[in-house]
Every structure is written in structure tokens, then in C-alpha cells.
Amino acid sequence: MPLDATSPGLDALLLATALQLELSDRDLRVADKRYLHIPEHLQRPTSRLRKLMDSARVYPQGSRAIGATIVNGADEDRFDLDAILEFYRPQGWTPRDVLDELFIAFQGFPDVKKIERCTRCIQLQFAFMHLDVTPMDPHPEPRHERVGQIFHSPDRGSDETHDVNPFGFIQWFKANVGPANKVFLDQVAKTRSGLELTGRLEPGTLYADADIDDLPDPIDPIRDTPQVIALKLMKRYLNRRYANRDLKRPVSIYLSKIAALLPAHPYGLCAQLENYAGELNRRMTLAIETGQWPEERNPEFHPENFNDRWPPTVQDMRVFSSDLKHLIHELSRARHSELIDIQKIFDDLFGERITEKAVRSYADGLAGAAPTSSYERGKGFVASPGLLRPADTSQPTTSQARPHHFHPGKLK
């Protein structure tokens, strides 16, 4: 593998940026306490759903379950968690009844600022975070593990139910992505140890003893794979792009599946993100040209279509495609730029405050650069092959990484 096809300096900056998007350990502990308090609150003596909670099960879905939770970006200090609340729907209850009753039952939840009854979930809004709780009616036994129906009840229009298996998708995602190689994991751990993540949540006083599934441990190595790191960067980029638009952004579970379908790129993290954006753009371009709507299925439960609510129009696909091309173009510019210009590019892509901390962390580490890299004029910091994961020949990548001309330059 030619070393001039890699971009270790740019990879280091992207890695530091992605890790700055993570929650602090304190944030995770407080958020987990709120998650764990769900069944206790719904089982309290005054709860109208108390009897239904005897056999209920709560477990994470979405980004928290795969280690891809980030601060939003449109609102720098906010983040969200998603949970499935699995319980049997009483006979005669409509989807609207389920959501309305759950909305009432959540009243008085500790520390909550506001509770919203959404189309498919109940949203508990706290200072700096919110928790989306989606009720699910499990299929009768025997059933495929944790398959059930979620409820769709809009203000206008008819009620619906959708067969889903979010737990199965999470297990597929973890198995498909797999752990990164040890050298890469060590590099991520070293970078993370040099960062100072600011806590956003004050420690709470919630304790729960209910028998429910724990959230994944914060140190689950799946969060440190190249695919998940690229997913975090993509989510942050799109959050900022869609912040002031009256359009729905692509759903996270769709983005997650495509990220997991791509192997770890042998040319590094920048190439991983470029390849990821390129694959998403290929799919959007094909959908626009053929008129066939993207339809990404749950690999563990084919009836579930992740794109059932996005994209609503061709215009949504065109906007998304344009964003992906912009990201690829800006990463290409960064490959040929000095550090001060890269910081400006990253400011636009990921947010000024996050980028400033990442660049400062990177610059502080240059003096003690690891022996696995060296500086070459015209190429920047070149890594030894040990930092790069061998290519997976069973799954071809969709784009060729471009040569790297990273110049550190000077900070202001």
C-alpha cells in the first residue's frame, strides 16, 4: 500500500474532532440513571399503566446502543437517547390510546422540563438532553427475538402500526462492523485520553432497581471502529446542514446501516469518511435517476423498512446528495491545505468550538509524536503501515483515496 495515499495527519484531526463530539463519562452516568428510572416511574402506585409494567422490558435503540451518540451540533450542548418500552397492548386500545396513556403516565418524571407526545414516541425533555421512549407491542410467542409493533398516530391522518425489530438490527450492526484492530484502538484510546470533554449534565439523584436490560457499557469497543467514527462525523455534519432547513434530515438508522455495510478503509479515517459519503451519494443518485425510492430493510427483519418516512420527495434526495458532494469536496480541499486552513474547513463542517478543541489537542501532541509517524515535506505526517487495517478483499470499496499533501502550518 503506497504511504502517499494515506493522510495520517488529517486522520488524527478527524479522530480528535469525532471524539470531541462524545459525551463525558458523567453525562453518560446521569443519562443512564434517567433511562433506568423509566420502569420505576411507570410502576409507581399512582401510575395508570402500573399493571401493564409487570412484564415490561426497556432497552436502548439507536445511537446509544452502538456507541454513536454525539452532541447535536445545531444546538451545541444537546444530545438525545432512544429507548424501546416493550409491553403488551391491552385489547381494544388503539395506537392513539397507547401514546396518550403513556404521555399521561410519564407526568412527574424527575428532572423533566417538558414532555411531548410525538407521532411515534413520548419525548422527555431535560436540560441539555432529551429521551425518546417508543412503546412497542411484542408479537405473540413464539416470535423472532424482540420483534413487535410500534405505533404511528399523527395529529392528522389515520393510526398505523409497523412491525419492527430494533434489537435485532443492533445485534447485526455490532456483528457486521466488528472490533477495530488493536493498533487503531490504541490510537483512539491515546487520543481520547488527551482530550478534556466538558460535562453537560449535573449528577442526578435517580436510582432504579427494576429488572431491565442495562445500557451498553461506555467503553464498548464498537464505538471506536472506523465505521462508527465516520458515522459520528456524518451525523454531526448533517445536523449542522439541516439546522435551518424546513426539511427532514436522513434518518439515523438508515445512515447507520450504510456505515456498517462498508469495510474499514485501508487508507485511513479520512478515506473512510469519503468512501461513506460517496456510497450514500451513489445510492441517492441512483434513486433520482431511476425514480426508485430508496428502501433500506432491516437485515434481521425484512418487513421493516428504514426509509418509511424519508425521503418524502425527490427534492430531499437532491439536497442530501448536494450535501454529500460538498463534504467530499471539502475533505479533498483539506488534504491539500495547511493546518490553519484545515481548521477553517472543519469549522464549517463540524462546528467552530469542536474543531478548535480538536486542532489544539492535535497541535499539543505534535511535539511528542508517536514513533509510528514521521514528517515528510510535501506529505505531512506519514504513518507506518501498522496504523492501518488491512483491506477486506471480500467487500470492495466504492472510491479511491486521493494522495495526501497535509502541511501542519501554524496556528493563529
Mean pLDDT of 207-217: 44
As a whole number of angstroms, the distance between CA 180 and CA 223 comes to 10
Mean pLDDT of 205-214: 42
**pLDDT score for 130:** 92
Check: CB of residue 348 under 8 Å from CB of residue 356: no
Mean pLDDT of 111-139: 95
Nearest to 369 by CA among 190, 183, 180: 190
Check: CB of residue 30 under 8 Å from CB of residue 205: no
* Dihedral over alpha carbons 18, 20, 22, 28 (to 10 degrees): 160
What is the DSSP secondary-structure string of 254-314? HHHHHHHHSPPPTT-HHHHHHHHHHHHHHHHHHHHHH-PPP-PEETTEEEEETTSSS--SH
For residue range 49-94, list pLDDT tens digits in order.
999 998 899 988 889 889 898 988 776 558 888 999 999 999 999 9
For residue range 249-296, list pLDDT tens digits in order.
999 999 999 999 999 999 999 999 999 999 999 999 999 999 999 999
86 forms bridges with which residues in the sheet? Answer: 57, 136
pTM value is: 0.85
Q: Give me the chain's average pLDDT, please.
A: 83
Alpha-carbon distance values, 405 to 219, 326, 341 (Å): 34, 20, 13
Q: How confident is the model at residue 219 (pLDDT cuts 50, 70, 90)?
A: low
Q: How confident is the model at residue 221 (pLDDT cuts 50, 70, 90)?
A: low
For residue range 136-186, list pLDDT tens digits in order.
999 998 888 899 999 999 988 899 999 999 999 999 999 999 888 888 889
